[in-house]
Structure 1
Amino acid sequence: MFDYWTKKGLVQVRKLDDSLAQAMQVSSSPEEWKSRGYKLLREGNYEMATMCFERAGDERGEKLSKAAGLKAAADRMHSSNPEMASVARRQAAEIFESIGKAEYAAECFYMLKEYDRAGRLYLQCGESAMERAGECFFLAGNYCSAAEVYAKGCHFSKCLSACTKGKLFDMGLHYIQYWKQHGTADQRCREMDTIEQEFLESCACHYYELNDRRAMMRYVRAFDSMSSVRTFLINLGCLDELLSLEVESGNFLEAAGIAKLKGELVLQADLLGKGGHFKEASLLILWFVFANSLWSNGSKGWPLKPFLQKEELLTKAKLLAKDVSDQFYEFVHTEAEILLNSQHNLFEIHQILDSSRRHSSIRGEMLSARKILDMHLHLNTSKYLWENDLVSDFCKDMIVNIFKFLARLEMQGVTEYREFGEFCLNYMGVKREFNNLNAIYFLMNSDAQWARDIPRKFIRREGSLVSVDVHQFVSAAQAYWRSELLSVGMHVLTNLEALYNLSVRNSLSLFCQSRSLIHIYDVAKSLLNCQFLSSQHSDIKALWKFTRLATECFYDCIYPRDWRESLKENMISLRRNESCRNLLKEAIFENVSSKNRLSYAQLGRITSMILGSGEMLCEPYEKKADGLEWNLSWKAFIEDLCRNVNEESYMQKLHEALVDTYYNANWRIRDYILPGCFLYMLERQLILLSYFQGYFLTTKSSFVEWLIYQEGHGSPSFESLMGNTPPSLTRNLKFIVDVVQHFLYNDNGMMDWIRAIENKVKVMKDYHALVVLRLVVIICLVYLNFGWCEKLLSDLLSRNYITKQLPRQFYDAIQKRRKYNFLNLNSNVVAEAFSKIGNPLVVVSLGKNCSRFLCPHAIFVDMKELMKQTLGAHSNQ
């Protein structure tokens, strides 16, 4: 076919150049045709070159140009038509070989993958082609010829590669000996040592594959150094042979390293001890015992469990520790006590915890804390000591630090949270080793529950060693700690909920109830906010359920109907606690961020919580208060509170909100404002109205609420308010009096109001009495602050349906100076009456002298002096 193609091409050329050919035939000699032919051949015009060689009668030139044309055609068709290209290349190779062009022929046969034939042709091309010939023989599998050719060409490395590939060990040794005798010093330095070592290793590997360890070791012992012996045997996993060699040589530390590679940790500890490394040996035993206490025999982890030789190993660890130092022995003894998992009481575990902290032992601290937590969680809720034993810290911070370590673990050179990282590795029975900066994580127990989530394809086994890469370890470890954190957290929350229900059921103090709710909120919120806890939908739902329990029930604890509860020292301290404030903020936010129309009941609770919280994050409330759009008065008031504007402004907005509630709301429905909320705002309004005279008199409960608010919002500039009585003061004060008067005279209406929010008869009666007392107290405060309402108060206290609701001691104290129809009240009388109900009178100076109100039963507070003391305390901190 290619002959046809060639002839056809020549015919076409003849037709095209016929006139030229005739002219040349007349005027050109054979030598000229031959010269033109080689010129055309060099230019790649193979058809014309062939024609010229024909005219010259040069058969060799004609074959050369024909072969070159075939080779060029093959090169062009190499990709598009490989089969035709191979045919053309073979024809070219045979023509090249027939005319003595060995190198060209060899190249074609090489392309045809006829390597042996190509190699023989390259041998005809002199020393420059020896390496090429050796390559062809190597590719042909003729390793003996390859080695000989490479040797002649002084290609040492390739020669021994051929010997290795062909298992020509004797031949290789022969060449090595020859080169040692005849090689130059430079060659010996640069190449021979490396070449010799590589060949010896290949021989050793050969016998290793034949499982002939004795023959293998003969070659290994001939290595150039002990270092190369160790590297070689470790890479092959021949650890038993290396271990024996190291022990024979007295290299106990190196032998311990081999035992480590074999995963024989107890043997490693023994060898470390023999080598005088007592501390490392003792710590290794503790590590082994710890991991096996958690993960042996299909265990799912915590709690610690016994296993064979556990006590024996811990005894050995303590004996080794004695050879280190007394301090180290104390540390190991403490760790052993924890790991033995003996029965300890709470006091003993606290002692172990303290000892662990002294020794900066994260493991000891974590395990002791977990044991303490377990004891609390398994304790009957009725046996809790409420003041001291509530547990909300369930090692979360330490677990979060483990997450932080794991999050950084895939970055090389991580140093942050290292101690927590070591604990995590220790806990999970993992040893981290580095191979060329690549971390490998070896598992003591690959059947450990936490490791079962790792896909089998990612688990590598090398003898008795099982390892995973950093990504798989991090993923599995995070999954375990995520599950552990959530499981323990939910267990804690369930117990806290049980404690709260018990406190409500047994009518325990509001402090107990409040503290339970704060703990519930803290735990649930910390879990929801934990960036490392990607909980499932059901888990998030459960956590939000606990959060809602806290936010929904907390208001009634912090703002009780009976002020005697709120005035207890522990409750005041609790109100100033950051966790309490956070829960109040959450409760406010839960209400304000509602997209539904807020009811008057919600507005009342929101306002009470804002006016009674020490600090607020106001911006979110303004942005999300969609439920306030329906009532402009309340919206303006809430916005003023959120923006923390001046007292005069929010006093007026508060008045407008109260007016709207009083005149426009239906107090006979359940969503009407609670009596306690409404009266709370009246009491605060009364304080605000009193600012302008430079002092105010109020009850201790109202003063504490106001003071807590001031702590977070900053005290006003009282001087700027004094003497600047706003024109609205009289109107606002009259509104308070009218409202109180209406409530007290309309007893049935008041009962309807209370009945709308409470359906228990006894509770309604008690609540009614508290509301009546609170209203009477407000009128007393109006009288003391502004001199109003003496006749009204006298009239109120002459009505039996009112006085029967008042505490007898209070009524008697207020009546003691009555003359005829006049009560003859003063601050001393009112202070004594207030003291009888456990809510003392407080006289507050805002800068103006109010000494005329001082009396034995009243509390005097100078706000300027109080602010100085507060600022001084903060500066000292």
Structure 2
Amino acid sequence: MDVLHNLNTLYKFSIHKDFSEFCRVQPLLHIYEVSKFLLKFKCFNHGHGNLKTLERFYRQPIESVLHHVVPLDWKKSLAKEMVYQRITEAWQEIMKEAINENTKQKDRLTYGQIGRVVVMILGTDNVKDDLFLQVMTRFEDNKHWKDFIQSLRFYSAHETVRDYKVTFEMHPTCKLYQALRYTWSVNWIKDVDYISPSCFMYLVEQLLLLTSCLRGRLIYATKSSFTEWLICQNKFPLSDLSFKRDTRDVLDFIANFLREFVNDQNDFKTWIKKSKLDVDNYFPSLFLRSVVSMCLLHLSTGSREYLEILRSLLKNSYMTTQLPLEFRNVLQKGKKRMGFQVIAKAFKVIGNPLVIVKLQNSSSEIMCSDAVFVDLTTCKKRELVFETLFPSIVDSAGGETKTKASESKC
């Protein structure tokens, strides 16, 4: 028991001293492993007090893990060590337990629970079929989200779907769009436990990236959103990115959501409060993420309509003052053209570089020093793509010193 108390002290110390996300997660993983072992080990005769303490330690990492999947600051999710941690067996195990915790009750699941489960599934590598089936069973009362999980299960089971007659309506992108659209239509003010704005924004960001995948030859994404997509890559195989479809309805939904978020700030602050989140911390982060998504929406489509939404925002001094100063200045100086060079520079100053992904051989390579270029026509293995996103810089002594974004070396 002393080991668990010491690990918990170390965890609290890592938070107090603002250690890296990776350093914070390590004590949690050890707390989970030790407490699970002690609870299952029959040789120990646990008294009532010790049993309660063990159960509390066991639940602590399970209840905390979602905050490390969707951290408030995306710089934390971009730490190389944290990215690789999330594809380990230990991480997969604790995520599975967290999903179990959110789905084990017999009552109808709330939108908050559904949102947490979906985010954890998308943020977990190599989800097993039995877990998909378990979640689908618990989502029985919510057809749209059940259909989305079912589509993920199908794509996870087949490395490529070329031998199957798959329509857009069967694709996870369409299912996620339908589920989000339906969830957004719910009266969240009256809902007891509605999906949190951080979870909803995470899912919208993933929907935008998936839609970009289906549209053409290039993907425009942030480093954080593309990394998230890579982590759940077995659900959206790199070998199956040539599936084309008119996605105007999906894009309009994303645009309308983002526009509402930046225009109806009081409602969204109420939503944040209702989700028991700190408005002062969460709103600036979510506001910035919404503007970043607007930029990506413009780049991915080249639509003048979406560009005008972004320009309209940049003309509003009240809204722009809520953005980081340097980020705002870059966008305002380049708002007449608003090409990928301008947006890449803006993303770079907030520490979340623009990633330009080449999907087809016919796509031209784009040169931009402020962006990361990934060529999926030659770099098909996820491990190689990770190395492109997080290349190691080796010092003269041969030791790894730090990582940074760079052009693809695949």
Query: Same fold per TM (> 0.5)?
Result: yes
Distance 2:262 2:56 in 1: 41
Any unmatched runs of 5+ in structure 1?
A: 1-489
The DSSP-based 3-state class of the residue aligned with 2:334 is coil
Provide, for residues 292-319 of structure 1, a one-character-per-residue CA deviation record: whole Å limited to 9, x for no partner.
xxxxxxxxxxxxxxxxxxxxxxxxxxxx
1:847 maps to 2:391: no
Counterpart position of 2:302: 787
Query: What residue identity is the alignment partner of 1:708?
Result: I
Identity, % of aligned pairs? 35
Provide, for residues 472-491 of structure 1, a one-character-per-residue CA deviation record: whole Å limited to 9, x for no partner.
xxxxxxxxxxxxxxxxxx22
Counterpart position of 1:816: 333
Provide, for residues 395-442 of structure 1, a one-character-per-residue CA deviation record: whole Å limited to 9, x for no partner.
xxxxxxxxxxxxxxxxxxxxxxxxxxxxxxxxxxxxxxxxxxxxxxxx
Summarize the Cα distance change of 1:573–1:870 in structure 2 as closer, same or farther, 3 Å threshold.
closer
TM-score, normalization by structure 2: 0.83
Kept in 2: contact 1:584–1:613 (CA 8 A): yes
1:715 maps to 2:230: no
Distance 1:857 1:702 in 2: 17
1:524 maps to 2:35: yes
Kept in 1: contact 2:136–2:149 (CA 8 A): no
Counterpart position of 2:245: 726
Aligned residues: 371
1:664 maps to 2:186: yes
Q: Tell which has more relative contact order, 1 or 2 (C-alpha 8 A, sep 6+).
A: 2
Summarize the Cα distance change of 1:529–1:544 in structure 2 as closer, same or farther, 3 Å threshold.
same
Summarize the Cα distance change of 1:540–1:713 in structure 2 as closer, same or farther, 3 Å threshold.
farther
Provide, for residues 732-760 of structure 1, a one-character-per-residue CA deviation record: whole Å limited to 9, x for no partner.
1111111111111111111111121246x
1:770 maps to 2:285: yes
Provide, for residues 101-146 of structure 1, a one-character-per-residue CA deviation record: whole Å limited to 9, x for no partner.
xxxxxxxxxxxxxxxxxxxxxxxxxxxxxxxxxxxxxxxxxxxxxx
Kept in 2: contact 1:667–1:673 (CA 8 A): no
Pick one of 818, 829, 832 that aligns with 2:342: 829
Q: How does 1:127-526 map to 2 (within 5 A)?
A: 490-526=1-37
Kept in 2: contact 1:668–1:756 (CA 8 A): no
Pick one of 219, 222, 226 that aligns with 1:703: 226
Residue 766 of structure 1 deviates from its aligned partner by 2.9
The DSSP-based 3-state class of the residue aligned with 1:843 is strand
1:694 maps to 2:217: yes
Residue 769 of structure 1 deviates from its aligned partner by 1.1
The DSSP-based 3-state class of the residue aligned with 1:842 is strand
Kept in 2: contact 1:597–1:626 (CA 8 A): no
Counterpart position of 1:11: none
Provide, for residues 255-294 of structure 1, a one-character-per-residue CA deviation record: whole Å limited to 9, x for no partner.
xxxxxxxxxxxxxxxxxxxxxxxxxxxxxxxxxxxxxxxx
Larger helix share, 1 or 2 = 1
Distance 1:764 1:853 in 2: 39
Residue 621 of structure 1 deviates from its aligned partner by 4.5
Counterpart position of 1:742: 260
Distance 2:172 2:334 in 1: 39
Counterpart position of 1:680: 202
Pick one of 53, 67, 70 that aligns with 1:559: 70
Residue 505 of structure 1 deviates from its aligned partner by 4.0
Kept in 2: contact 1:604–1:678 (CA 8 A): yes
Counterpart position of 1:164: none
Structure 1: which 4+ aligned runs deviate by more than 6 Å? none
Pick one of 783, 798, 813 that aligns with 2:315: 798
Provide, for residues 516-565 of structure 1, a one-character-per-residue CA deviation record: whole Å limited to 9, x for no partner.
111111212233444x5465573554433222111001111232111011
Residue 808 of structure 1 deviates from its aligned partner by 0.7
The DSSP-based 3-state class of the residue aligned with 2:369 is coil
Counterpart position of 2:269: 751
Distance 1:864 1:714 in 2: 16
Give the number of the structure whose alpha-carbon radius of gyration is greater: 1
Query: What residue identity is the alignment partner of 1:715?
Result: P
Query: What residue identity is the alignment partner of 2:112?
Result: A
Pick one of 376, 380, 402 that aligns with 1:863: 376
Residue 627 of structure 1 deviates from its aligned partner by 4.1
Summarize the Cα distance change of 1:580–1:868 in structure 2 as closer, same or farther, 3 Å threshold.
closer
Pick one of 503, 523, 547 that aligns with 2:58: 547
The DSSP-based 3-state class of the residue aligned with 2:193 is coil
Any unmatched runs of 5+ in structure 2?
A: 387-410
Summarize the Cα distance change of 1:529–1:639 in structure 2 as closer, same or farther, 3 Å threshold.
farther
The DSSP-based 3-state class of the residue aligned with 1:851 is coil
Counterpart position of 1:450: none
CA RMSD of aligned residues (A): 2.6
Distance 1:561 1:869 in 2: 25
Summarize the Cα distance change of 1:849–1:768 in structure 2 as closer, same or farther, 3 Å threshold.
farther
